């Protein structure tokens, strides 16, 4: 059996040691890292963040090593600029984001105003190899009901501008201000997908097709399907879990398409509601079960996802590893639980951010 490729992009905060205050030093860090020669690191929208990019992987052990290697490279680059990296979906400390002074980002700021100016959020994007555009669209249509579960598992952004938002993933709420963000209807055909993108860009609302920010989309640059719904995970192992589940979902739904199974009939309104609930409570309360559309305990729904993709995991030899990783996050909680526990309500925000920075590179 030929294993599908998988790769991970992670966005990381650059923070000041001791205070946890985001530092606008991305350019300095990238120069120290030898960019653009090293492709593992890149700039993002704001100067207080870096993006990491793993190589293309087939084995989960290889992917785990890559995620940690890229985080370590980012940490070394940040240190040269007097900063640390922290895998946090939003800045817990109050911050005034500073845009990277690059043409496209400046155009985005002019076009979208405060949405772009305030958008200091960090996500995890998983690229899974596909054999054709037809397969990619068929899979895209079929994975939609399960994406909210990935958001709940990865939720890692409870704080915004120094306050507890009462959300597990406030990043998803802030990200939803972009006009193309969120779930989609089923496309059915490649032409329908491409025509939708052309029509969206043709309205003049978007700068380009790179601003099509669906929860999952076809990559513009690689033969991959890109799942974009997750927060950046605090723990490297959780990023591996999200990537493994994404790959297994792609495998599972590609087989479903090949077998002639119908596209699930969930309406976009229900998918949006499911993602909102995942963003609100993460693993701490009920999620919507994709099979019934009804609320179930988060652990029950997460285990239902594991069962849904079990055949694909079995064939890849990943079942034991993914089961263990899932059990671990269900037992200790996601990044949002870590942040709230470390802060404790009357604790130190700076100490919590320092703890998160330490956890980022373990």
Each residue's pLDDT tens digit, 206-243: 999 999 999 999 998 899 999 999 999 999 999 999 99
- Computed over every residue of the chain, the mean pLDDT equals 96
DSSP 312-345: HHHHHT-HHHHHHHHHHHHHH--HHHHHHHHHTT
Q: Is the confidence at residue 37, as pLDDT, over 60?
A: no
Mean pLDDT across 315-336 = 98
- All structural domains of the chain: 6-360 (3.30.590.20)
Place of tokens 């772009």: 116
How many Cα atoms sit within 13 Å of 331 on the Cβ side? 6
Q: Is the pTM of this model over 0.95?
A: yes
47-60: per-residue pLDDT in tens? 999 999 999 999 99
**pLDDT tens digit sequence for 136-158:** 999 999 999 999 999 999 999 99
Alpha-carbon span 264 to 266, nearest angstrom:
6
Percent of the chain predicted with pLDDT > 90:
94
Residue 33's pLDDT band, with cuts at 50, 70 and 90, is: confident
pLDDT at 39: 78
């Amino acid at each position: 059996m030929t294993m599908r490729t998988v790769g991970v992009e992670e966005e990381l905060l650059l923070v000041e040691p001791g205070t946890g205050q985001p530092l606008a030093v991305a350019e300095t860090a990238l120069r120290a890292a030898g960019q653009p020669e090293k492709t593992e690191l890149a700039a993002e929208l704001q100067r207080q963040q870096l993006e990491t990019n793993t190589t293309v992987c087939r084995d989960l052990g290889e992917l785990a090593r890559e995620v940690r290697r890229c985080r370590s490279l980012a940490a070394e680059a940040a240190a040269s600029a007097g900063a640390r990296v922290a895998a946090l979906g939003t800045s817990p400390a109050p911050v005034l984001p500073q845009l990277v002074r690059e043409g496209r980002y400046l155009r985005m700021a002019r076009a979208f105003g405060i949405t772009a100016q305030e958008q200091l959020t960090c996500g995890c994007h998983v690229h899974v190899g596909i054999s054709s555009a037809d397969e990619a669209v068929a899979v895209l249509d079929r994975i939609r009901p399960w994406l909210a579960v990935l958001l709940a598992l990865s939720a890692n952004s409870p704080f915004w501008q120094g306050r507890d938002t009462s959300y597990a993933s406030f990043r998803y709420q802030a990200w939803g201000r972009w006009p193309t963000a969120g779930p989609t209807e089923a496309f059915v055909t490649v032409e329908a997908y491409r025509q939708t993108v052309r029509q969206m860009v043709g309205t003049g609302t978007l700068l380009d097709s790179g601003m099509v920010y669906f929860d999952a989309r076809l990559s513009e640059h690689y033969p991959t399907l890109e799942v974009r719904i997750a927060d950046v995970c605090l723990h490297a192992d959780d990023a591996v879990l999200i990537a493994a589940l994404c790959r297994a979902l792609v495998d599972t739904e590609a087989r479903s398409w090949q077998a002639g199974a119908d596209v699930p009939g969930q309406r976009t309104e229900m998918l949006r509601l499911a993602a909102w609930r995942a963003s609100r409570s993460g693993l701490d309360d009920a999620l919507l079960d994709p099979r019934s559309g009804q609320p179930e305990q988060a652990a029950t729904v997460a285990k239902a996802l594991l069962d849904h993709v079990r055949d694909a995991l079995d064939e890849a030899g990943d079942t034991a590893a993914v089961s263990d990783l899932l059990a671990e996050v269900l037992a200790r909680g996601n990044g949002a639980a870590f942040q709230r526990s470390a802060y404790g309500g009357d604790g130190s925000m700076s100490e919590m951010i320092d703890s998160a920075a330490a956890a980022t590179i373990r």
